[in-house]
Amino acid sequence: MQLSNEQAEYINVDDALSRIGGNMSLYKKLLGRFLEGNHFEELEKVLAGGSVDDALRQAHSLKGVSANLSLVKINSYSVQLEQLLKDNADYSSCLEELKEVFRITTEMISGILAV
C-alpha cells in the first residue's frame, strides 16, 4: 500500500507489515482494534483523575501498541509523554500535540481500512 510522504510520517505500513509477514488483512484487523481501543480517551481520563501511576501505564501501553503498529508520531509523543510523567514535569503541551497527532492518525487509519 502506497501512502503519501505526509501519511508515511504518521504510519509506516511497510515496517508494520514486515513484522507480520506482509499480511495486510491482519494489519487492517489490528488497526481496527486500535481504533476501537479508545487509547487516547483513557489516557485523558486518568490524567484528569490525577493518577500519575495510571497515566504512566496508559502512556506506556499507547507507546507499545503504537510501536507494534508503526504509528510513528503517536509513538514518538507517547515516549515523550511517558518520560515527562516519570519526571513529574509539565506535560500539557505534549498532551495537546499527542491529541492532534492521534486525531490525524486515526483519520488515516480509517482511510486505510476503507481500501
Measure the CA–CA gap between 68 and 115, rounded to whole angstroms: 21
User: What domain count does the chain have?
Assistant: 1
Top pLDDT among 7 and 106 is at 106
| Residue 13, domain member (yes or no) | yes
Query: Domain of 27: which CATH number?
Result: 1.20.120.160
| Residue 49, domain member (yes or no) | yes
Cell of 45: 481520563
What is the tens place of the pLDDT at every residue in 33-77?
999 988 899 899 999 998 889 999 999 999 999 999 999 999 999
| Residue 26, domain member (yes or no) | yes
| Residue 51, domain member (yes or no) | yes
Task: Give the structural domain span for 32.
Answer: 8-110
What is the tens place of the pLDDT at every residue in 82-92?
999 999 999 99
Measure the CA–CA gap between 104 and 53, rounded to whole angstroms: 27
| Residue 34, domain member (yes or no) | yes
Question: How confident is the model at residue 93, as a pLDDT?
Answer: 97
